[in-house]
Amino acid sequence: MLERIIVGYDGSELAHEAFNYACTLATATGSAIEVIHALEPAPPPVVIDPALGFDAGPAMASMQEATEEERQWATEALAELQRKGEAAGLTISTKVRAGRLIPLLCDTAGAGDCIALGHKGRFHSGGVGSSTRSLVEHAPCPVLIVSEPARPIVRIVTIFNGASPAKKALAFAEGIAKAAHWPHLVLAIEGPSLTMEESAERASEIAPSAEVTPMCEKKLHEHNTLSEHAVATDGYALVVLGAYCESRLHDLIFGGTTAKYLKAVAAPVALVH
C-alpha cells in the first residue's frame, strides 16, 4: 500500500510535473502527499587575509538575505501547492527545510512511501546523474523520475527478470495497479538464473492480476518495445523498473545510453532498489 508521495520541489517546470503526477497517484491510491523544498547551504566564503583590508561582512549579509528571500518564496509556493491539492480533496503537507535535497528526501521517506522529482542537470543531458543515482540507491522506497509534462496514467508497465529488485518493483507496481484499478502489463525477460519462460511464470505468481508477456531482452532494448507500451494516445503508462547492480538493465538506467532511452520512453519511470 502506497502511504505517501514525497515531492522534491524547486519551482522548476518538471518539479511542477512531478507534483502533478503525485496528485494523480494520490487520487488513485488514497495516499497522502508531502512537498519538500530544500534550502541548500551556500558555498563557504573565500577566506582572505584580513591584512588586505577585505570586509567579508557585506558578502555574508547578502548570502543570508538571499536565503531568507528563498525561504519566503518557497513558503508561498508550497502554500499554493497545498491549496491546489486540498481543493482536489487530497491530504497534503509541505516543508521548507535547510539542507541538501537528497539526504532530506531519504531521511523523510519510509518504506511505504514513494519519492517523486523532475529530472534536471546531468540527468537531463547525460543520464540519471550521480545525485539521482545516490537517491535511488539509498532511499528506503521507490523513486519516481518525471521527464515530460504530465498526462493521464492509463496503465502500469513493469519489466521483470526474477532478480530481487525486480521482485520488489513488481510487487510495488501490482499494489498500485490494484488500488488504482489500472491495467498492469509485465514484460518478462531472461534473468540471472531464470529463462524467459520461467520469469513469466514467476511474475504471474507475484502479480496474478497482471498480463504477463514473455519478451526477448534484445528485442526489448533494440526495438524500443518499452516505449511502445509506455506511450499511448490517451496517456502514459507508469513504468516501474528494478534498479540493481551487475545487470544490463542497470547499465541501461545508469549508463551512457540512459538519456536517449528515457527520452524515448517519455513516460514517468519509478525505480525500485
CB 240 within 8 A of CB 267: no
Predicted local confidence at residue 45, as pLDDT: 55
pTM of this prediction?
0.86
Predicted local confidence at residue 265, as pLDDT: 75
More confident residue, 135 or 251: 135
CATH number where 165 lies: 3.40.50.620
Q: What's the DSSP call for residue 52?
A: G
In terms of domains, do 205 and 243 share one? Answer: yes
End-to-end CA distance of the chain: 17
Angle formed by the axes of helices 13-29 and 164-180, nearest 10°: 70
Residue-wise pLDDT tens digits, 178-189: 999 999 999 999
Q: Which residue has the cell 529530472?
A: 119
Q: Which of 144, 174, 204 is the last residue of a domain?
A: 144
Between the CA atoms of 145, 148, 153 and 154, what dihedral angle is there, to the nearest 10 degrees?
-120
In terms of domains, do 88 and 158 share one? Answer: no
Model confidence at 92, in pLDDT bands (50, 70, 90)?
A: very high
In terms of domains, do 139 and 156 share one? Answer: no
| Res 120 pLDDT > 70 | no
Quote the cell numbers at residue 160.
521483470
In terms of domains, do 17 and 107 share one? Answer: yes
Model confidence at 51, in pLDDT bands (50, 70, 90)?
A: low
- Rounded CA gap, 23 and 31, in Å? 9
Model confidence at 231, in pLDDT bands (50, 70, 90)?
A: confident
In terms of domains, do 79 and 112 share one? Answer: yes
Predicted local confidence at residue 248, as pLDDT: 46
Q: Going along 119-243, which residue ranges are E strands?
A: 143-146, 153-160, 184-188, 211-214, 231-232, 235-242
Residue 168 CB neighbour total at 10 angstroms:
18
CB 217 within 8 A of CB 192: no
In terms of domains, do 163 and 253 share one? Answer: yes
Segment among 191-195, 196-200, 258-262 with least mean pLDDT:
258-262
CB 89 within 8 A of CB 118: no
Q: Identity (one letter) of the amino acid at 232?
A: A
Which domain covers residue 236, as residue numbers? Answer: 151-267
The mean pLDDT of 205-234, rounded to a whole number, is 85
Predicted local confidence at residue 56, as pLDDT: 54
CB 7 within 8 A of CB 19: yes
Q: What are phi and psi of 100, to 5 degrees?
A: -80, 140
Model confidence at 78, in pLDDT bands (50, 70, 90)?
A: very high
Contacts with 197 (C-beta within 8 Å, 6 or more apart), sequence order: 214
Q: How many domains does the chain have?
A: 2
| Res 246 pLDDT > 50 | no
Segment among 67-81, 159-173, 228-242 with least mean pLDDT:
228-242
- Rounded CA gap, 8 and 185, in Å? 28
| Res 239 pLDDT > 50 | yes
